[in-house]
């Protein structure tokens, strides 16, 4: 039996709450995307340049896999909040997490098809395709990896390994995810924004979506100055996060979390409201607003844990009898009663 104390309950409930928020966004985004695809004469349409429907079905399967992953994450998170979870249920979520690769591979193939990489293998097309693959890799890693962090952490607590999730553990993850955040800003916004600006310097803003110069991985680049600014903001916030994780910047304040929040608000105003209003769609704007929120939430979560968790903890840190919760006390009393009954029964037989 794993005794539970106030520290254990606090950590597990906090992880469960964050997990529910992260999982919810994984449900919303593919639902928008699936609705948009199904409304376009699915799967027999010209959206995929004459594709026979295989790509459309692959994208649908990828979305369904992510929706199920999000629902599993919400359920596991809720059970953690209500002390009803179990490590084997968490393992189900970790196993299903691997189906995220279906969505990632399908989206990469869609990028190649929509950009016409085979039909128009120009240097410009290949450049945008390369940047798109990098952007998708960094973005998807943060989207799905954010949920994986909470699943693995919850599993550790449920397996009596919570003492391993110390401040150093969260600092290392903060460095990794901040790096991907900065890389997404550079390759997903800064570099392609600069390319669009240089290629269309005399014709700005670009009002008509021209593939692949304007529509880039679902995001229209109509005012490249905005894309450049967002790339710079994301890159700076990511570098700041890496500095916090490596101990190169003071980390006993909330400045980084404020910076992450400001970056998301700027993204909503500059990209979702402005860029999409010029060259995007309503469904695309709604999906884009939700798509990146996990990237911002996980950075704030990791930073908070990195500066509040102890540097070292012994195995009983989350299972100390002195601060056992009411739930843990009831389980302990039940076990003690069962043991006393077994003793009495053994003495009677003797």
What residues form DSSP beta bridges with 74? none
What residues form DSSP beta bridges with 215? 220
Q: Mean pLDDT, to the nearest integer, of 250-273?
A: 88
- The answer to whether the CB of 63 falls within 8 A of the CB of 26 is no
Higher per-residue confidence, 234 vs 114: 234
Q: How far apart are CA 223 and CA 201, in angstroms?
A: 11
CA-only gyration radius of the chain, Å: 24
327, pLDDT greater than 60? no
Confidence of residue 263 (pLDDT cuts 50, 70, 90): very high
- The answer to whether the CB of 65 falls within 8 A of the CB of 44 is no
169, pLDDT greater than 80? yes
Torsion angle, alpha carbons of 112, 113, 114, 117, to 10: 60
Taking Cα atoms as reference points, which of 190, 96, 90 lies closest to residue 138?
190
168, pLDDT greater than 50? yes
Is the peptide bond prior to 212 cis by the omega test (within 30 degrees of 0)?
A: yes
Confidence of residue 31 (pLDDT cuts 50, 70, 90): confident
pLDDT for position 203: 64
250 Cβ neighbours under 8 A, 6+ residues apart: none
Burial of 63 (0-12, 13-18, 19+ CB in 10 A): buried
pLDDT for position 41: 55
CA 236 and chain centroid, separation: 20
Is the peptide bond prior to 205 cis by the omega test (within 30 degrees of 0)?
A: yes
The H or E element spanning position 225 is: helix 224-245
Taking Cα atoms as reference points, which of 56, 220, 217, 248 lies closest to residue 138?
217
Q: What is the pLDDT of residues 95-120, one digit of tens each?
A: 999 998 888 888 888 877 777 777 76
Query: Rounded mean pLDDT of the chain?
Result: 81
Decide: pTM greater than 0.85: no
The H or E element spanning position 215 is: strand 215-216
329, pLDDT greater than 70? no
Higher per-residue confidence, 125 vs 173: 173
pLDDT for position 75: 95
pLDDT for position 182: 95
pLDDT for position 120: 67
The token duo for 279 is 């060259």
Q: What is the pLDDT of residues 122-150, one digit of tens each?
A: 777 788 788 888 888 898 899 899 999 99
């Amino acid at each position: 039996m794993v005794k539970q104390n106030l520290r254990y309950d606090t950590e597990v409930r906090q992880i469960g709450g964050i997990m529910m928020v992260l999982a919810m966004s994984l449900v919303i985004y593919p639902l928008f995307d699936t609705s948009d695809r199904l409304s376009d004469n699915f799967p027999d349409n010209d959206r995929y340049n004459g594709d026979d429907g295989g790509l459309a079905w692959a994208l649908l399967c990828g979305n369904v896999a992510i929706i199920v992953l999000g629902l599993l994450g919400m359920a596991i998170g809720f059970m953690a909040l209500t002390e009803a979870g179990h490590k084997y249920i968490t393992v189900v979520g970790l196993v299903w997490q691997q189906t995220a690769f279906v969505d990632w591979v399908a989206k990469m193939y869609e990028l190649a098809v929509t950009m016409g990489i085979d039909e128009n293998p120009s240097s410009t097309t290949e450049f945008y395709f390369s940047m798109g693959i990098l952007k998708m890799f960094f973005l998807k890693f943060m989207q799905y990896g954010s949920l994986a962090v909470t699943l693995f952490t919850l599993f550790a607590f449920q397996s009596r390994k919570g003492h391993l999730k110390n401040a150093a553990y969260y600092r290392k993850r903060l460095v990794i995810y901040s790096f991907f955040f900065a890389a997404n800003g550079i390759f997903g916004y800064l570099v392609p924004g600069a390319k669009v600006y240089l290629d269309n310097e005399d014709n700005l803003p670009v009002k008509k979506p021209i593939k692949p110069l304007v529509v880039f991985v679902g995001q229209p680049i109509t005012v490249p100055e905005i894309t450049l600014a967002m790339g710079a903001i994301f890159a700076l916030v990511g570098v700041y996060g890496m500095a916090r994780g490596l101990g190169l910047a003071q980390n006993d304040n909330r400045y980084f979390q404020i910076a992450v929040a400001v970056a998301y608000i700027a993204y909503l105003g500059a990209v979702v409201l402005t860029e999409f209003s010029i060259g995007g769609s309503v469904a695309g704007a709604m999906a884009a607003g939700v798509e990146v929120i996990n990237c911002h939430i996980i950075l704030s979560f990791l930073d908070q844990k990195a500066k509040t968790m102890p540097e070292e903890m012994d195995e009983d840190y989350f299972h100390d009898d002195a601060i056992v919760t009411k739930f843990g006390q009831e389980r302990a009393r039940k076990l003690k009663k069962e043991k006393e009954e077994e003793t009495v029964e053994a003495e009677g037989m003797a």
